[in-house]
Amino acid sequence: MIIHLRMKQKIIIILFLVSGFFNQVKAQDSLRLYLGQIPDKYFGTSVADASNEAFFQTMYNLPGRTYTKRIIYNFNALTAGNEMKFYAIHPQPDGFALDNGDKLCDFGEQHGLHPRGHTLVWHAQLPSWLGAGNTGYENNNEYTRDSLLSILKHHITTIVSHYKGRIKEWDVVNEPFEGDGSLRKSIWQQVIGDDYIDSAFVWAHQADPDATLVLNEYGAEPWGTSKSNGMYNKIKSLVENGIPVHAAGFQCHATLGQSNFTMIKNNMERYHEIGVSCVITELDIRIPANQMGTQAAWDAQASDYVNYVKLMTETDYCHGIVVWGFTDKYSWIPAHTNYTAGEACLFNDLLNPKPAYYAIENYLKTYLGYDDIKQELKHKPFELITKYNELYIHLLDPGFKIKQTTLYNVMGQVVDAITNEQIVETNYTLNHLHSGIYIAIITDENNKNYATRFFKQ
């Protein structure tokens, strides 16, 4: 009797484990799997504030946590929500707090995510010692142009040098424009003058000549508005004066259905013409409260998200996208809008993917030709056979010529490149790979790619 009970328990446990295993496999949707195959473009997320658990889950690298897993499986770039801003990273005149930024880099390096630096010069979130007041406009310490320039130089040089080679892209100046396109009257602009921007870029470049330097702004995304013209004209004049500004950052804090993608693309195009790249730095798409919780709103949001991704994948103008938080759970939008809007992210507040997530995934599959691949496989020029620990290709069409087989992990990273002789009708051992899901991309003699997924036990 006791033995039977134990056996029953065992069976239940085994069933539980097996179902858990399948659930896990199903749950391993991964945008990174697809995005990792688009060269020189990144798809990132900001991680939530130091004041809440999420940032620490990431920084203390708890990969078992859902929050951390979502990051690792879906993104390949990372921005700190607040931790590298002036007040956080330079809390005393001579005191820097670089620990959180270091942790961001460690986490990124361990999981193959590229950390972005946000942000060196801004009118907001300044430390109280600077004396810029609550607005960031005041000069309570009566700085002169020279004394404030020297503070700014010390700030930029210390931080960019510290992260040299680890942080490859910086939002050097953040939100320097007013709505009418003139320069915002921050402490920097008022005390130093308009050329604080020039100096900031020059010092950042001197500290790390290989870093990509971004001028970042919100509400200046579509071509032709006063603000977008002001930003474009400023960047153009910086470029003409030899100032090292490499990209225009479009924050893209959008409202459902309000993005004019043609005009955003036109704006990106004019930057491209002057040799400046664009990057979407803080994407989220808020849903007005009266439409929240409806399928229609989620579907419309999905279509907006895909259109933003297309600005990156289908042009040469845009080299990356960062979403401003990936889960509604920690999004800044509800509090910021006094709860008149929300649900702005790709995952809901239970950290589950929303229609926008699946829409991006499906779009990327089509974009990368996965649909064609399915079609191709109907013709079956080959079969990829996986055994317990081995892989081989059996040719169904003997005339089919394979040039190379490349194995990717779910993060889209290449884990192996195999020659024809090693795998066609020859068992190729997979001992060197961890257990998990992989994609084999088989390239034929005409450089056509065929993808197939397999599981290594």
Catalytic residues: 175, 282
Shortest separation between residue 274's beta carbon and ligand 9MR, angstroms = 24
Distant-in-sequence, close-in-space partners of 21: CB < 8 Å, separation ≥ 6: none
Q: How far apart are CA 47 and CA 253, in angstroms?
A: 16
Q: Give residues with Cβ within 8 angstroms of 234, minimum separation 6.
A: 176, 177, 183, 197, 215
* Least separation in angstroms between CB 182 and ligand 9MR: 19
CB of 173 to ligand 9MR, least distance (A): 12
Binding footprint of ligand 9MR on the chain (CB under 6 A):
49, 81-82, 124-125, 174, 218, 251, 282, 332
Minimum CB separation from ligand 9MR for residue 77, in Å? 16
CA gap 448, 441 in Å, rounded:
10
Strand-pair partners of 284: 253
Q: What's the sign of the alpha-carbon dihedral 136, 103, 205, 171?
A: negative
Of the CA atoms within 13 Å of residue 391, those in its CB half-sphere come to 28
| DSSP conformation letters of 137-200 | ---TT---HHHHHHHHHHHHHHHHHHTTTT--EEEEEE--B-TTSSBP--HIIIII-TTHHHHH
Q: Which is nearer to ligand 9MR, 197 or 423 (CB)?
A: 197
Q: Which is nearer to ligand 9MR, 117 or 412 (CB)?
A: 117
Nearer to ligand 9MR, 38 or 124 (CB): 124
The secondary structure of 359-386 as a DSSP string is: HHHHHHHHHTTHHHHHHHHHH-SEEEEE
3-state helix, strand, coil split of the chain in percent (to 5) is: 40, 25, 35
Instruction: Pick between residue 108 and residue 325 the one whose CB is nearest to ligand 9MR.
Output: 325
Tell the smallest beta-carbon distance from residue 329 to ligand 9MR (Å): 13
* Nearer CB in complex with ligand 9MR: 98/124: 124
